[in-house]
Amino acid sequence: MEIILKKDVAKLGHADDIVEVKAGYAINYLIPQGFAILATSSAKKMHAENLRQRAHKEAKLRADAEALAAKLAEASVKIAMKVSESGKIYGSVTTAQIEEQLNAAGFSVEKKDITFASDAKELGTFEATVKCYKDIKGTVKVEVVAAE
């Protein structure tokens, strides 16, 4: 019996796969649990159309993310921090501060998408990574300066 998976099923397939299973497994478990639907000719046509539309939307999102990553590569952010006499900053630069500066510069990013790996505990220029879309990431320069 052919079915279209609606969700990932271990050892069977991923969502949107068309797989062949035994009739009892499909009728008694997969279909009632909402993991699959019967692969009739009309269901296959709808499935193909949904995949085509999803691919189109995916391509647009990917293009927008790549454009955002390119703009972020050209951008830089200045963050003013209080500095001790020895040149070390009080506290450290956080992703919330980077998000605030990027949003002020016209970028729409969330702090959960920002990764700031280096320990910015002194003045200087560092890099932060911004997740734009699934596997597309952009880097932005973060300049830590002394507050006046």
Per-residue confidence (pLDDT) for residue 67, from 0 to 100: 94
**Whole-model pTM?**
0.70
Parallel/antiparallel/unpaired status of strands 2-5 and 18-20: antiparallel
What is the model's pLDDT at position 115? Answer: 93
Predicted confidence at residue 134, as pLDDT, reads 82
Tokens of 53: 């539309």
Per-residue confidence (pLDDT) for residue 116, from 0 to 100: 87
pLDDT in tens, 79-115: 999 998 887 888 888 899 999 999 999 999 999 999 9
Q: How far is CA 69 from the centre of its chain?
A: 12
Please report, for residues 71, 119, 129, 131, the alpha-carbon distance to residue 112 in angstroms, rounded to integers and kept in the order given.
19, 18, 11, 9
Tell me: the pLDDT tens digits for 11-63? 999 999 999 999 999 999 999 999 999 999 999 999 999 999 999 999 999 99
Quick one: pLDDT at residue 70? 95
pLDDT for 121 equals 80
pLDDT reported for residue 96: 92
Instruction: Kindly state the average pLDDT of the residues 133-138.
Output: 89
